[in-house]
Amino acid sequence: MGRRLGQHFLIRQSVLARIADEACPEPGATVVEIGPGRGALTAHLLDRAARVVAIEVDPVLADYLRLKFQHRPNLEIVAADVLKCDLARWAPAAVAGNLPYYITSPILDKTLALGPLLTRAVFLVQLEVAQRLTAPAGSRDYGFLSVHAQLFASVSLLFPVPRAAFRPPPKVDSAVVRLLPRAPDPSLPDPAAFLAFASLCFRHKRKTLRNNLLGPYPKEALDALPAASRRAEQLSIPELAALWRALPPL
């Protein structure tokens, strides 16, 4: 089994049980599991959820899972690349997984794009990503990823997971994060347009907002706004939104 697909399997049962408890706090839920591997987390999810849909890109592992769980009628194995799947097919659902780290960002995008169809998400990710996802404005790790995730969800770092909990042990530290979707903000009716603005704001980390926004936005408009002399990482989501509203629409 190659490591190319991020195949570091979580073997510590206590950690697997905690992830499943967080993904499935109540019975009756559908859980979409991303990257089930050999089914270590799947087994815990099956004990708690009404239905588990497990998406595994490695066809050898998908066949192995079909055999291993042949007597579990509440499991559907989907042998596919999660990035090519329409997760809404199984929604409303919780989404969970010990993620393949090389595609964490697009998986987060896809999960957050479920909007109200997402009940919750619980992911094992690289510790550094967990810190960025949960970072408050003004902190070292706060950036576009924090804004994107926190715009749509209330994000918590639940607990760190040591390297020794995996086989083979990965070269990076890991942590479990939980994303609980937020109700849409009525003052931001077009979140995609706001996120496009936010990505411009964070374009170059050390530059001021004025310098990052100059070009798409006119100099005079930026000079008139005191907040534009600050750096994006100093502004909370409501402050970034206020700046966006104060600028002329693109």
Positions in the binding site for ligand SAM (CB under 6 A): 5-10, 34-38, 40-41, 55-58, 61, 81-83, 97-98, 100, 103
| 84 vs 140 by CB, closer to ligand SAM | 84
Asked if 42 and 36 count as a contact pair (C-beta separation under 8 A), the reply is yes
Quote the least distance from Cβ 6 to ligand SAM, whole Å: 5
| 9 vs 159 by CB, closer to ligand SAM | 9
Q: Please count the residues of the chain.
A: 250
DSSP, res 137: T
Quote the least distance from Cβ 56 to ligand SAM, whole Å: 5
User: Which residue from 114, 183, 176 is spatially nearest to 151, judged by alpha carbons?
Assistant: 183
The helix (run of H) or strand (run of E) holding residue 176 is strand 174-181
Q: How far apart, in Å, do the first and last CA atoms of the chain sit? A: 49
| 104 vs 150 by CB, closer to ligand SAM | 104
- Closest residue to ligand SAM, Cβ-based? 35
By three-state DSSP, how is residue 110 classified? helix
R_g of the chain computed on alpha carbons? 20
Quote the least distance from Cβ 142 to ligand SAM, whole Å: 26
| 75 vs 103 by CB, closer to ligand SAM | 103
Quote the least distance from Cβ 166 to ligand SAM, whole Å: 8
Asked if 210 and 223 count as a contact pair (C-beta separation under 8 A), the reply is yes
User: Which residue from 69, 111, 109, 66 is spatially nearest to 87, judged by alpha carbons?
Assistant: 111
Using alpha carbons, list the distances in angstroms from residue 92 to 96, 120, 200.
13, 10, 32
| 61 vs 114 by CB, closer to ligand SAM | 61
Quote the least distance from Cβ 173 to ligand SAM, whole Å: 14
| 48 vs 231 by CB, closer to ligand SAM | 48
Quote the least distance from Cβ 167 to ligand SAM, whole Å: 8
